[in-house]
Amino acid sequence: MSKHIPQEEHPLNAPTKEAQDEIIAEQPEPRTAGVGADPARVARATPEQIAERAHEFWIDEGRPDGRAVEHWRRAERELNDPNPSS
């Protein structure tokens, strides 16, 4: 018997599958390695890595409701940015 976990208590607090698909669809396709390929676009964070980092943001910010997509996008940017500003 599986236990229902409310979204605000979900261990990863990730956006729904539909929201993840929408976020992914908004991203430009990475180029494969080869002549003219941007090396920064080849390696991408996995959804599991993004979810883990988004969960860390959620915890650090006091587990706020309604910010899953914001945390997901922030984690995605952070993990996929080859040149972080700090």
Containing domain of residue 63, as a range?
A: 43-81
Q: Is residue 62 part of a domain?
A: yes
Q: What is the mean pLDDT of each run of 10 residues along the chain (86 residues)?
A: 52 68 68 54 82 94 94 93 68
pLDDT digits (tens, 9 = 90+) for 24-47: 777 666 555 555 555 555 578 999
DSSP state of 84: -
In a domain, 4, yes or no: no
- The pTM of the full predicted model, rounded to 2 decimals, is 0.53
- Please check whether residue 69 lies inside any domain of the structure: yes
* Structural domains in the chain (count): 1
